[in-house]
Amino acid sequence: GAPNVSTATAVREQHGHDESMHPCAPPDVVVWPQAVGQVQELAALCHRCRVPMVPFGTGTGLEGGVNAVQGGVCFDLSRMDAIAELSLEDFSVTVEPGVTRKALNKHLRGTGLWFPVGTVGVRGV
């Protein structure tokens, strides 16, 4: 519905570029799925209709990866921000794709752990 889908020009342009030098290439529509099942249904629909899918996190990338050069559907995953599991024993955490580094570090505060920029081996739900 409306709070989870937008075709507004400003919203599309916001999601059509990152911090790279590449010019804005907005998607045709922006959606905010809130559960894995919704992502699966949207991806299946896009696949059946041969519509490009563009994932969007925070828009801070430097590669132009969010540019929808062929239009399509932008999946803004920011509302999928749950921290599912933290294991202090093996230093691992399972998160949804919308969890930011700052939110994760806030969650980790007091555990003796932190998540630095550029960490490899990130694994989502």
What does CATH list as the number for 2-76?
3.30.43.10
Residue with the larger pLDDT of the pair 123 and 94: 94
Q: What is the pLDDT of residues 55-110, one digit of tens each?
A: 998 888 888 899 999 999 999 999 999 999 999 999 899 999 999 889 999 999 99
Q: Where are the domains of the chain?
A: 2-76, 81-116
Q: Where are the beta strands (DSSP E) in 39-110?
A: 53-56, 73-76, 83-87, 92-95
| Reported pTM | 0.82
pLDDT, position 118: 61
Q: What is the pLDDT of residues 10-38, one digit of tens each?
A: 999 999 998 999 999 999 999 999 999 99
